[in-house]
Amino acid sequence: MKFLYDNESFSFEALRAAGYATYGGAELGEVLVTCRLIPDGDEEAWSAQWAATAARVERIGRDALTAGHRVSAREALLRASNYYRTADFYRRADPANDTESARLAKASRLAFADAAALLDVPARAVRIPYEDTTLPGYLFLADDSGEPRPTVLYHGGYDSTLEEAYFALAAGALRRGFHVLAFDGPGQGSAVREQGLHFRPDWEAVVTPVVDFALALPEVDTDRLTLIGTSLGGYLAARAVAFEHRIAACVLHDGVYDVHPTFQAVARTAAETPGGWEAVLAQSVSARWLVRNGLWTLGVPDADGLVEASKAYTMEGLAERITCPMLVLEAENDQFFTGQPQRIFDALTCPKELIAFPESEGGGEHCHEGAVALWHQRTFDWLGTVFAA
């Protein structure tokens, strides 16, 4: 689906930012006036213009808060948080030492934290014990009754942030009476930026402490715990429930059986291109971002090391260990994991369902960006049926 840009990556990221308007994470007019100032493929202009829009919208929120306009403040700060995240997206040349990248990420976190406190039921910031440290999270409650409710454990993928989790999943879950415990795992958000934690393929080591934490919360219905993972999280969540059997249901958004082919394809292009990796990364926004983000989040030294590390992220020999009901989502035009949902679905031996989103319904992009309400409707209707049974 082409959206505002010819460049596939720019089109997708603009759609991603705009799609969160469903839950107050964007205003279409703000997206349009920002993008028209950004030349196609110009990463510096992308960062600068989104940062300017984010700062302008944040000022609206801060002024509203000072004036005592709670709803207006919340709405503007939510949008600002998403816009700051978008501004930082392509700043991956050296994110560990990029002061502007750090500033944008911090601004996104702070704007969201202040907005989260203004929700009808304020979100609760938590720290989840993990090995010798903690993972950052938010507990979003559907109401303040204190009654146990079905609860979703949610994490993103290769480039997600904890704050994005509200627009991507939590807001839709809350409307349907689900609590949500969202968290950044190793390799994600502030866990990699501030704690230096890198992705690991044995994601059960991450999810099991989160389950322990969730089951100790009085608001959690311990018999109706769901795990949902987005993008790369489609592999991570599947891996986790192959070992962690206290989870009652799992949703792969979208399904991923083997991560390696995605990186192998770029490596093959580099091998066939004069100039190799250097030339491919210079020519392709998508390849440049994919590799640079991976070097940072997986903690590997070079592109070849990234391709090699990706081999460990596979469900081969593990899918049959999953016992809980599984929902596998698939996007018709997925540019990262084509064919992967069907592979994991075919390998599963547990109760399972596959839902495909065609381009003709507007949900054909990777993780159904631009069709958030549609995938939420199908996912939570499925969960309602599973738990009713």
Q: Which residues are catalytic, by number? A: 231
Angle at 335 between CA 352 and CA 267, to 5 degrees: 110
User: What sections of the chain are H helices per DSSP?
Assistant: 8-19, 28-35, 43-66, 70-88, 99-116, 164-165, 171-175, 189-193, 204-215, 233-241, 260-272, 276-283, 285-298, 303-309, 340-347, 372-388
DSSP state of 314: B
What Cα–Cα distance (Å) separates residue 45 from each residue in 50, 62, 81, 85? Answer: 8, 25, 19, 15
- Report d(CA 168, CA 77) in Å as an integer: 16
Query: Per residue, what are the HEC states of 334-383?
Result: CCCCCCHHHHHHHHCCCCEEEEEECHHHCCCCHHHCCCHHHHHHHHHHHH
**DSSP assignments along 22-54, one per residue:** GGTS--HHHHHHHHTTS-TT-HHHHHHHHHHHH
DSSP state of 328: E
